[in-house]
Each structure stands twice: as structure tokens, then as C-alpha cells.
Chains A and B, each alone.
Chain A
Amino acid sequence: MRRTVVTVSIHAVLLLSAVLTLLPLLWMVSASLMPPGEASALPPRLLPSRPTLEHYGSLLSRLKLAQSLFNSAFLATVTTAIALFLNSMAGYAFAKLRFAGRDRLFRGLLAALVIPGQVAMLPLFLMLKQMGVVNTYWGVIIPGMASVFGIFLVRQYALSIPDSLLDAARIDGAGEFRIYRSLVLYVCAPILVTLAVFTFMGTWNDFLWPLVVLTDDGMYTLPVALANLAGEHVQDTELMMAGAVLAVLPVMLLFIVLQRYYVAGIMSGGVKE
């Protein structure tokens, strides 16, 4: 009897917490479908009286959010591709190849983990300005091309590749790059998916750096465009909620599909972002 009471109350608390956790997201979706003004009506409504997609329409056409959506998707995809390539090569080499200064270089890179990104930001901006890439896609991509976290993640995974496997390939006459391309990448596939999910979401969700380096609204990523709109359209609750859905939905779907890999990344890294 006591057991049943405990079981029921634990589930009740869990269910309530789950509802409270989901509430802001559910309200966001619901409000984005309401006709103008309904989200701030009194008494408040939880569901739209007649669902409409008009806010998505005006965001994508009139307010140029389609361009921001494209910018975000493009930048996240390209950054992820480059980061996967550079980090996997370096991570594999740190784990399995012998070369002078390897361990010293690796320790030096790990030291970067204690330096917050904001410290490098001001000179980086001036540097990219000199290079003429401020307000271009490169301005966003360049700082994300390689990361210590990514290298570390791949290295830890690649340590478990048996040397005999690599040596066998060498005896067969395969060059080092060939081994990396057709053997290492294949063996490391799970951790590369993890790294891809992290990099894609990190780039998609990033705010401070794109805010700094992108100055034209045609170049804005979704978070920057959204923060900008939030200032101009304070009263248009439903419109802003549609914008929030556009930003949140893609990464959320990506997470739901690739959840397993994302969680693996948290466990093997223990590092945020």
C-alpha cells in the first residue's frame, strides 16, 4: 500500500515537472498560431481560436527571415563540415601518429580550455576587419573551424583504434591520408556524429559572436535577426513567437533524432558547448 502511494506521488511530481518544463515551449508554438492580439488578450488563452500561419508568412516574406534562416542553415552546415575535417585529422594524429612535440602541443591546446572566448573577441574582431571578412560568412566560420573540445573528443575515441589495424593498412601500402580517409573516419563515425551535432547546434544557437561580426540585416543569423526584431516588434507577441519557433524547431528536431549521440558527447567531454 505504502509502495503504491510512493509510486503514484513520484509520478505525479514527475508529470507536473514535465508539464512545467514543456509549458514555455508549448505556449510558444500555440501563440505563434494565434491571430494578431490574441496572445495578449485578457483573460489569457492557451489555444488559438482559429489557428493561422500568417505570422510565419509575414516573417519569411516581409521581414526577410527567410534570408536569416538560410544564413543560419548555411553557416551551421559549412562550419560543421570544416570543423569535422580539421578536428578529426588533428584528433586522430594526437591519438595515433608519432611526431615531435606531439604531447607538448596537445597540452598547450588543452590550456585553451580555461580561456573564455570573450577574451579573444575584441582583437579577433580587429584582425578579421583587417582581413576584410567582417560582415561576411567567413567572419562567422573562421573562429569555428577548429576547436579544442572537438580535437579532444576525437582523440579520446581514436585512442581505442588498435595499432595493428593501422599497421596492417600500412603494410598493404596505404598512405597516411588514405588510412585516415578510408579507415579512421569509418571507425570513428559515432564520435564524428556526436561532434557534428554539437558543432551544428553550437553554431546555430550562437549569439554573441554573430552579433558582433555581422552588421547587415541581410547577413544576420536567426538569433541575431530575432533579437533585432524583438526590439522593433515588442507588441507583436504572435509574430515574435513564430520567429522563436523558426529558430528552435530545427535544432530540436535534430536533437530528438540524434539524441543518443548528443548525450554521448556530454559524457565523454564533460565540457560545456
Chain B
Amino acid sequence: MMRRGMKPGHAFVAPAAIAIGVFFFIPALASLLLSFTDFDIYAVADLGRLRFVGLANYARLLGEARFWTALWNTLYFVFIGGPLSVAVSLGAALLVNARVVRLKPVFRMIFFLPVVTTLVAVAVVWRYLYHPRHGLLNLMLAWIGIGPIDWLGDRFWAMPAIILMAVWKNFGFNMIIFLAGLQSIPERLYEAARLDGANSWQQFRGVTLPMLRPTFLFVAVMTMIGYCQLFAEPYVMTQGGPAGATLSLVLLMYEEGFRWWNMGYAAALAFTLFVLMLLFTLVQLRLRSANETTPGVGRA
């Protein structure tokens, strides 16, 4: 049965390689082609209606206000939400890792729990927590004298609300990576610093932060890449509103592609998202070659 040159190894990798090739690589490539066509609801019914339109979808995209809104919102989420998530993760890791802390595994598990929850389910929960009248958040804010905020109904607050929820949902993930990074810092560095008379803050500034730098950069860029794909939170909590304040690129792609069947245009959106994420990936590769060893983190 086996042809010459075929080895058992080929048979072992074939099923997975074919599955990934046929159901990921080919569609990803086809997506680029699709973005040069006017594939719409009529083409879904009859492929004969398909026309090649060159860069027309991209031109339309650049002229569309909704695209710029979605891009701006996505970048807002990435550049504010991303760093905030990483900062909270680092804070949690430092606290849990502190020498005096007892029951470390318990705290670690509690902080990690939101990561494994179903995003749609917790988005539903947070929608009620954000309720302007009887939501838990406004209730707690009222204790300290902050007036009721219409979190999800106000153009200014809707994105911060989504960011706050995302930080809560995700910080445990990076905390685990930071904890490993912290634990890989050799104890003798701290001993040397103490011999030099460094206090806790100086040890943190002089030893912990520099040693954690590679982990920090890795985590920050990976988080921002992940945050480019914002979708379920606005879909469930705000449907992209109010007035487009939480419309993200993926949400726009979903609406154009799967609600209005403007698949050519949606493919152009998907590719724009890809380019955006690729830029972050390039930064990541740059950083990795700059400092080859990343303590506590395996290769991506």
C-alpha cells in the first residue's frame, strides 16, 4: 500500500496535517481571494453572480465611518485594556508570591477561576452587575458616594465597563505566567541585594523588575494580540452600542459577513484584523530576538 519514500511518520501526521490544511490554511488563503470579490447574498445562492472587484472592498472600508469606529474601539480595548490586565496580573502575582503569604494555592486558584468560566455566561452576569438601578457595582459605588453610572448605556462608560470585565476575566491567566517568572528569579540575587542593604522596595526595583522584564514583554504583547479579537463581550452586553461605542472589528466582521452576507467586504475586514495582529506579532518576534531567554515562559 505504501508508496516508495512514504514512511510511517507520513501516515501519523497526515490526518492532522490534512485537517489543518483543508479546514484552516485553504480557507485562510481563500479569505484573501474572497476579499477581492463582491461575494454577497446573491452569490451565496448562485456562484455565477460572483465578480472580481480588485481592491474595491478595501477602498469602501477606508471610506466607511463604522470601520474607523470599530478600529478605534478595538485599539482602545487593546491599548487600555491590555496594559491594565497585565498590571493587575503582575500585582496579583506579587501579592500571592510574597514570602509571608499563607494558603498561596487557595488564592492562586480563586484568582484563576474567572479564566475558566464561559465568556458568554459571565458577560450575561456582568450585564446585570452593571445595571444602573439595581446592579451590584453601582450599589457599592453608592457606599463611597459615587452617583449611579449607566455603565453600558453611556457612550463614555460602555468601553471602560467592557475593559473592567475583561480584566476580571483574564488577569488570572497572566498571573500564573508571572508567578513562574517570579519563582525562577534566583534567591541569591535577593540575598546579595540585602547584603548591600537594599530594602524591600529597592529589591523590587533592582532585582524583581529587571529579572521579570522578558516575561513582562512577552505577556504584554500576547495579551494585546488576544485582545484584538474582542467579540463576545460587546455581542452579549451591548450589541456594539450605545451608538457604536463598543463596536469591535470582529463584531463588525460578524455582522457584515453572517448577518448581511456581505462576505467579500467582511473578508476585507478579516484581513485588516490579520494585518493588525501581525504587526503585534512582529513586535513580539523583535522582542524575543532581543532577549533570547524568557524565564518561566516556554516558546510560543
- Residues of A at the B interface (CB closer than 8 Å) are 3, 6-7, 10-11, 13-14, 17-18, 21-25, 27-28, 31, 39-42, 44, 86-87, 89-90, 92-94, 97-100, 102, 105, 109, 112-127, 142-143, 145-148, 151, 156, 176-177, 180, 201, 204-205, 207-208, 211-212, 222-224, 226-227, 230, 237, 240-241, 243-245, 247-248, 251-252, 255-256, 259, 262-263, 266-272
Contacts and interface: CB of A to CB of B under 8 A. Distances in A.
Given A99-B10, A120-B25, A226-B120, 13 more contacts: A40-B134, A93-B13, A97-B12, A116-B228, A122-B31, A122-B257, A123-B34, A142-B19, A176-B8, A223-B119, A224-B120, A230-B127, A247-B118
B12 A248 contact: no
B125 A21 contact: no
5 contacts: A21-B113, A25-B114, A25-B117, A121-B27, A122-B267
A21 B9 contact: no
Contacts of A112: 20, 24-25, 28
Given A207-B232, A240-B124, A90 B16 contact: yes
Contact of A252 (B20, B116, B134): B116
B63 interface: no
A74 B20 CA distance: 22
A97 to B, nearest CB: 4
Contacts of A271: 300
A98 B6 CA distance: 11
Contact of B27 (A28, A124, A259): A124
Nearest to A213: B258
A270 B222 contact: yes
Given A116-B274, A120-B27, A204-B118, A105 B111 contact: no
B8 A248 contact: no
B12 A118 contact: no
B168 interface: yes
B109 A259 contact: yes
B203 to A, nearest CB: 14
Given A14-B107, A222-B118, A90 B134 contact: no
A259 B115 CA distance: 12
A269 to B, nearest CB: 7
B291 to A, nearest CB: 15
B299 A270 contact: yes
Nearest to A154: B16
B34 A18 contact: no
Interface stretch (B96-104, B154-162, B189-197): B96-104
A87 B16 contact: yes
Interface string B178-192: 001000000000000
* Most central of A25, A120, A227, A252 by chain B CB within 10 Å: A120
A146 B16 CA distance: 5
A105 B13 contact: yes
Sort A-B residue pairs by CB-CB distance and give the 3 closest, nearest first: A99-B9, A93-B12, A97-B9
B263 interface: yes
Contact of B300 (A102, A113, A226): A113
Given A89-B13, A116-B274, A22 B129 contact: no
Given A120-B31, A247-B121, A11 B218 contact: no
A89 B11 CA distance: 9
Contact of B124 (A120, A226, A262, A263): A226
